Amino acid sequence: VLQSHEEEDRKVRRREKNRVAAQRSRKKQTQKADKLHEEYESLEQENTSLKREIGKLTDEMKHLSEVLKDHEKICPLLHCSMNFVTIPRPDALTSCLPR
């Protein structure tokens, strides 16, 4: 009777120890899931911000391309025949500028 009582006590202690370990494990899993969710939310916000920045930069690039295209139409340096000279001369630039 004494041995079975001791065995029963050991079983109870083992079950309690196992229960506490299981609680710890579940808590750790929950914390890990929470951390992953927070990281996910942060990355989503960063992604949204980067997409917004890409949109702004794309708009700026389009605008600057248009400005460049408009400028190329009127730029005297681009239409000057002296641009094809292989040896740059100081007077090449001034000869292309309007007087």
The per-residue pLDDT string of the chain (99 residues; one tens digit each, 9 = 90 and over) reads 667 889 999 999 999 999 999 999 999 999 999 999 999 999 999 999 999 999 999 999 999 999 999 999 999 888 776 655 555 555 555 555 555
* pLDDT reported for residue 83: 58
Alpha-carbon torsion, ordered 82, 88, 91, 96, to 10 deg: 30
* pLDDT reported for residue 13: 96
* pLDDT reported for residue 76: 85
Are 64 and 48 spatial neighbours (Cβ–Cβ below 8 Å)?
no
Query: Distances in Å between the alpha carbon of 2 and those of 5, 9, 68?
Result: 5, 11, 97
